[in-house]
Amino acid sequence: MKLMDEVAGIVAARHCKTNIVTASVDAINFHRKIKKGCVVTVSGRMTFTSNKSMEIEVFVDADNLVEADKGQYRAVTAFFTYISLDREGKPLPVPPL
């Protein structure tokens, strides 16, 4: 989950170009197990913005290198909500998508 939060934070910071803070994590869905020996890729995309917050969907994909026939698969998805902050830590408006 730490990697997922870091990726969501990068997406949020790139969008706002300000300090950001995680407000909540919602709907963590564990689709499949990640086995030892898999290479994990974490990615995210902005799905929604309002004046006060933004929502980022995060994907965790696993690639089974030991059992190559299994290939790459989606292991986890989640939604993170972030808030943009000024230098004093007060909320800022979020730019639209």
Supply the mean pLDDT for the chain: 95
pTM: 0.91
pLDDT band at 65 (very low <50, low <70, confident <90, very high): confident
Question: In the predicted model, what is the mean pLDDT of residues 16-39?
Answer: 94
**Nearest of 43, 40, 32, 31 to residue 65 by alpha carbon:** 40
pLDDT band at 50 (very low <50, low <70, confident <90, very high): very high
- All structural domains of the chain, each given as residue ranges with its CATH number in brackets, are 2-85 (3.10.129.10)
